Structure 1
Amino acid sequence: MSTASQVGAAPRDPGPVDSQVGPARRPRRSLPAGTVLVAAGTFLLTLAVMLPLYVYDQVALLPAEAEYELRLTDEDASYLDTSTWSWVEGSEVERHTAVDATASGSDWSAWEMTVDTSAPDRMVDHWSRRVIVDRSTARAVNCCGEHVDGDRAVRQAGLVHHFPPGAGADSYPFYDAEVRSAPSMEFQEEDEVAGVPVRRYTQAVEATQVPDSARDVPAALFSATASGTVTATRWLELTRTLWVEPVSGTVVNVQETRAETLRAQDGDDAVPLLEADLTLADAQVDGYVEQARVQSVLLRTLDTWAPWTLAPLGALALAAGLLRARSQKAQEHRDAEAGESAGGEPGDGTEVGEQEDRPAEHGSGSVTP
């Protein structure tokens, strides 16, 4: 005789055993619909605002460190040879301006300038200058050891060489270091240099005595019968013309008509010292034109073309992303309603089925043969 007994419900089949060790992996959650489009649209709109308001201003700044060089020449100039006090005609004269710019803080640049006027076999004139330039306005700043030919009492003002980006049809004070003043640079007309649209400005300096230019010269310069020396000063009359690419403010061409004289301090007599029509060499004009062309395209892109392209694209991407997110949310809402409708009323056969699947809570017995 055998007896079998059972206490409680029969155990369920646990099914296959998961071989994973550690916590169960959570399924990856996908990004909500439209997230990438919304992010891209926001980025493009932000870029469209930042390019003209911030990036443009940084790119438009004058370089803090640079080297500039201007060579103005006249192959048929005349000058007074001060070694022999004789007048020389039909000679080549070059006026060479060299600039070595270094950073002076984050907003300024310090320019060390030397200006040499020379004939093929001798130096006609030489002077130097230090000026601090505001990189955003291109104007001189009174600071940091500025001087003109050693005169540290000067207070330089106005434009130094470059024009501010977006130079308009206005007049600008333009500092002339020789006469220690900033006569107005007047707009003349729209022009073109090597295919690049430019604006032409002209500055007229009336006959003005050059400060600290007094020197002893032979009296015979003013009167053939005089002897000894007299004190004379240098006077300058100048017409300066600049061609400026307006978007970048780059000067692409320069021309100067100079008439310098010596005048006796004790009289009205004057003798010519230099007469020259100086122009910028063609190779330098081409170089500055190309530089201005590249800079103007870059600035136009940052200020106009890129924002007007990026802003509509950003708005479209943002709208498309929001529309897609809304459509996805509406679809999920419809799916949820459909699931509730298909689930049935409470108390239906679902609960009955669950009860049928349960094993009997009571059950014990014995089998007796």
Structure 2
Amino acid sequence: MRRPVGLILICLGAFFLTLAPLVRFYVAGQVVLAPLNRYQVTRLEARNATYFDTATLKTRTGVKLQASNTVRGDVRANGGDDRIAVWDSSTNIVDTAVPDKPIQIQGYRIAFDRRTSQLTNCCGANADGDTSVRMSGYGLLFPLANVRKQDYPFFDMTTRQPAAMRYSGEEEVLGMRAYRFVQQVPNTKTAAVDTKLPAKMLGLKASAPDQKVDRYSQATITVWVDPRTGIPVKHRQQIHSTVQTADGKGRMTVASADLHTVPASVRGLVDMANSNAFKISAVRVHIPVGAVLVGLALLLVGAFIGLPPGRPAAPPAPRRADGKFGAARSSARSSAAARRD
């Protein structure tokens, strides 16, 4: 009975030792992927902000703005290619004094590789409905489970071009070690304004004719990222938007705000990052290491139980009081007796 049990344990041990590299190098690659069906709502706030109210044609200052960003995965938009994730993002900015009146609404769709997080141009990717935009670099996520202390190209949806997201140090966010990255988006023309504006609104002489203007935007974006998962857990967006004449002499601020992620949203993002980090660590470390330890233990126990014991050695002959072997003297006496007979 011992031998069959031992052989079974040895087989199980070999199975667990084979399972360890399979989980680490194959299963992990199939499991550690960006989700197709992400749903996430993040809120940001800005105090003492400024914006131009198009309804009253006045600039409002010292207001409190709230931005609500919703990310929703479109599972069927990838055309059946499970290597690609497609996420829609919409941001709605309101003055908290008149929350039913949006100041700005921005929407875009990104498609990206679920393993590397790099953007790809397919599946209806667009910025505010413009499908001619060619996206590159990264979008909503950093490299999945492999964030390094280096610069990354991130695509800015307002200016519709990539800008470097530069590593600027480590910082603790609600007990989690995060990498801080800063992106400087230069002042860039983003749209032509169809309607001419009065010169006085642009800081020019009132006697000057109405002016043709273009819209420009610039921003400093700071992101705190969980290096274990590539998930941003906190944002700061310092945005400044203007309209100005072609020569730059006439100018008016359209929006200026310093948006921060609200504490409740930071907590939710940190919890999500910790949950994903545990899953990644499980398939990359805990399960493979556990399988090796269990496999070795089963092999040792199986070998102890199942392998036949070695034949015991014959015990040495007892010595007589005179130091000679008793068995040898007895044999000599038997030989002498036989010769006498």
TM-score with structure 2 length normalisation?
0.81
Q: How does 1:266-285 map to 2 (within 5 A)?
A: 266-285=247-266
CA contact (8 A) 1:40 1:317 kept: yes
For 1:319 and 1:90, locate their aligned partners in 2 and report how far apart those are by CA, in whole Å.
73
In the alignment, which of 54, 78, 82 is matched to residue 26 of structure 2?
54
Q: Which residue of 2 aligns with 1:159?
A: 138
Q: Distance in 1 between matches of 2:170 and 2:185?
A: 22
Which of 285, 291, 294 pairs up with 1:310? 291
Following TM superposition, by how much is the alpha carbon of 1:117 offset from its aligned partner in structure 2, in angstroms? 2.2
Structure 1 residue 112, shift from structure 2 partner: 2.1
3-state SS in 1 of match to 2:82: coil
Question: Which position in structure 2 is the counterpart of 1:100?
Answer: 72
Match 1:204 to one of 175, 178, 184: 184
Aligned partners of 2:192 and 2:102: how far apart in 1?
A: 17
Superposition deviation, residue 316 in structure 1: 3.5
How much does 1:127 deviate? 2.7
Identity among equivalent positions (%) equals 26
| 1: CA distance, partners of 2:74 / 2:234 | 24
Quote the offset at 1:44 in angstroms. Answer: 1.6
Query: In structure 2, what is the equivalent of residue 18 of structure 1?
Result: none
What is the deviation of 1:206? 1.4
**Aligned mates of 2:156, 2:66 — CA distance in 1:** 18
Structure 2 counterpart of 1:135, from 95, 109, 114? 114
1:165·1:247 contact (CA, 8 Å) conserved in 2?
Answer: yes
Name the counterpart of 1:147: 126
Deviation at 1:288, TM superposition (A): 0.8
SS of the counterpart of 1:129?
strand
SS at match of 1:231: coil
Hey, what's the Cα distance between the residues in 2 that align with 1:311 and 1:226? 83
Give the drift of 1:70: 2.1
| 1:90 paired to 2:62 | yes
Is the radius of gyration larger for structure 1 or structure 2?
1
* Structure 1 segments unaligned to the other structure (5+ residues): 1-28, 332-369
CA distance in 1 between partners of 2:222 and 2:72 (Å): 23
How far is the alpha carbon of 1:322 from its aligned partner? Answer: 4.3
What is the Cα deviation at residue 67 of structure 1?
Answer: 1.5
C-alpha distance after superposition, 1:204-223 (max 9, x if no partner) = 1111111x343324223122
Query: Residues 104-123 of structure 1 correspond to what in structure 2 (within 5 A)?
Result: 104=78, 105-120=81-96, 121=98, 122-123=101-102
Q: Specify the alignment match of 1:69 in structure 2.
A: 41
Whether 1:246 and 2:227 are equivalent positions in the alignment is yes
Matched-pair contact (CA < 8 Å) for 1:127–1:149: yes
Deviation at 1:196?
Answer: 1.0
In the aligned structure 1, how far is the partner of 2:118 from the partner of 2:207? 47
2: CA distance between counterparts of 1:213 and 1:304?
A: 53
**Counterparts of 1:308 and 1:115 in 2: how far apart (Å)?**
43
Task: Render the CA deviation track for 1:31-63: whole Å, top value 9, x for unaligned.
Answer: 735222112212221232122223323332111
Letter matched to residue 281 of structure 2 = R
Q: What secondary structure sits across from 2:308 in the alignment?
A: helix
Task: Give the Å deviation of 1:96.
Answer: 2.2
1:184 to 164, 177, 181: 164
Q: Is the 8 A contact 1:60 1:248 kept in 2?
A: no
- Counterpart of 1:179, as a letter, is T
Structure 2: gaps of 5 or more residues: 312-341
For the residues of structure 2 that align with 1:190 and 1:56, how far apart are their CA atoms? 27
Once the two structures are superposed, residues 304-350 of structure 1 have per-residue CA deviations (whole angstroms, 9 ceiling, x without a partner) of 2332332133133224434544426x67xxxxxxxxxxxxxxxxxxx
Distance in 1 separating the partners of 2:28 and 2:234? 25
1:301 Cα deviation from its structure 2 partner: 2.6
What is the Cα deviation at residue 230 of structure 1? 2.4
Residue type of the partner of 2:65?
A: V
Distance 1:279 1:191 in 2: 16
- Work out whether residues 110 and 126 of structure 2, in 8 Å CA contact, stay in contact via their aligned partners in 1: yes
Amino acid at match of 1:251: P
Pair 1:226–1:111, CA change in 2 (3 A):
farther
CA RMSD of aligned residues (A): 2.2
Instruction: Name the CA distance, whole Å, in 2 between partners of 1:319 and 1:213.
Output: 76
Q: Is the 8 A contact 2:2 2:305 kept in 1?
A: no
1:227 deviates by 6.0
Deviation at 1:225, TM superposition (A): 0.7
Contact conserved, 2:169 with 2:179, CA < 8 A, in 1?
Answer: yes
Instruction: Give how far 1:224 is off.
Output: 4.4
Q: 2:175 aligns to what?
A: 195
CA distance in 2, matches of 1:145, 1:302: 33
The answer (yes or no) to whether the contact 1:218–1:227 under 8 Å persists in 2 is no
